[in-house]
Structure 1
Amino acid sequence: MGNAMGSMLPMALGVALSPMPVIAIILMLGTPRARSNGPSFTLGWISGLTLVGALVLLLTGGPASSDQGEQATWVTVLALLIGVFLLLLAARAWRGRPAEGQQARMPKWMSAIDQFSPVKSFGMGALLSGVNPKNLALNLGAMTAIAETGIPGGQQAVTLGVFVLLGTLTILTPLGIYYLAGAGAQEILGTLKEWLAAHNAAVMSVLLLVLGAKLIGDAISEF
């Protein structure tokens, strides 16, 4: 199981280091429905990661290794394709960065966060973690790497749980600040939001570049 943990760890950190979802929950925690919408968003995020990860593990339940014990060709090709996709996302994020002195543009749906219900918050969390192209690619890569190790189903489930936990740490952090920091929570969260908004493009570009290059390099070494 150690190999599986090591293989999925970079992908889990890639999911965790996503500025936009963190900004979203920070905005939710500044609304009148903070105490219901914040936890709902977090549960949705966890559900999205878990559902997609479990589905991928079920679909990749077949042989991920060849008869000689080598990594199956389809796993290598898939890793290569995911790596290329992440590089394309990195280039897109870098091109979309704000010019010097300009504020980063936030998605339009963020302006309506103060009107979200707990159900809508849950759905948004699930969409951002499960359907967002970057997270979907990282989840697919992580689960494929886990399946490739050939560990039993129970150990796969444990590894999936660790993946979800690591991928949720940055969502849980603002929630913890909100409940534990008292009157100073909004100031801390506001500062964090401003920093993330200003550096979103740079963080995502570097992150996706590193993860994409790693997947491509690992895949090439298997050919």
Structure 2
Amino acid sequence: MGPVLGDLLPLAVGVAVSPIPIVAAILMILSRNGSGSGTGFAVGWVAGIAVATTVITLLAGAIGGSEPREPSAAASWIKIVLGALLLGLALAQWRQRTDADPPQWMRAIDEFTPVKALAMGAALAAVNPKNLLLCLSAGVTIGASDLGAGGKVAAVIVFTLLAATSVLIVVFGYLTAADRLRGTLDSARVWLQANNHAVMAIVLLVMGAVVLGKGVGGL
């Protein structure tokens, strides 16, 4: 379990520090439906990460190596491809680093219901290419490992909780201390929106290098 969790940790951190879901969570809890939308978004975010990672874990289980702790060539090549895609996204994000305009859906968050917020959280986790690639990498790592069924379930749970930490802290921290955190969260939102592409480029660069290195090392 230890080596697998070690491989998952940087991927979980990469998802957790992604600026867009953090900004979205802040906008949700500062909206007119604050507590309901924030809670719905957090539930959707956790569910999206868990579902995406679980599906890939199940698919990747068929390509695990036959020797203990020995990844198959197929799993290694998948990691190499995922790492290359992450590096490509890092380059694309860096080229857009001067664009600070929020996407259209962010401007509509004030009107979101809890159900819409839940759907948005799931979409950002399981459909957004940047986060999806990190969840795919985690699923391949877990599925191609020599862990038993119980160990793989535990690894998915640990990865999901770690990856969702930032959004959960923002949402439930605000629900318990709204007055004290409102100003701080609004300042964080402004900074993250202004620096979203640059932050994401750095995160994707590091994660891409890690996944690519793991793939090359497994050949």
What TM-score range do you get, normalising by the shorter chain?
A: over 0.9
The Cα offsets for residues 36-75 of structure 1, whole Å up to 9 and x where unpaired, read as 1100000000111111111112112224114586321110
2:150 is equivalent to residue 154 of structure 1: yes
Q: TM-score with structure 2 length normalisation? A: 0.95
Identity over aligned residues, as a percent? 37
- Give distance in 1, aligned partners of 2:68 and 2:9: 26
- Give distance in 2, aligned partners of 1:18 and 1:69: 30
- Which one-letter code corresponds to 2:29 in the other structure? L
- Give distance in 1, aligned partners of 2:158 and 2:46: 11
| Conserved? CA contact 1:23–1:193, under 8 Å | yes
- Give distance in 2, aligned partners of 1:82 and 1:179: 37
2:213 is equivalent to residue 217 of structure 1: yes
| Conserved? CA contact 1:42–1:172, under 8 Å | yes
Show the counterpart of 1:43: 43
Structure 1 residue ranges without an equivalent (≥5): none
- Give distance in 2, aligned partners of 1:25 and 1:182: 14
| Conserved? CA contact 1:8–1:143, under 8 Å | no
Which deviates further from its counterpart, 40-49 or 205-214? 205-214
- Give distance in 2, aligned partners of 1:16 and 1:153: 25
Show the counterpart of 1:178: 174
Show the counterpart of 1:72: 72
The Cα offsets for residues 147-177 of structure 1, whole Å up to 9 and x where unpaired, read as 2221011111111111110111110122133
Structure 2 residue ranges without an equivalent (≥5): none
Which deviates further from its counterpart, 37-46 or 199-208? 199-208
- Give distance in 2, aligned partners of 1:197 and 1:74: 38
Q: TM-score with structure 1 length normalisation? A: 0.93
- Give distance in 1, aligned partners of 2:197 and 2:63: 38
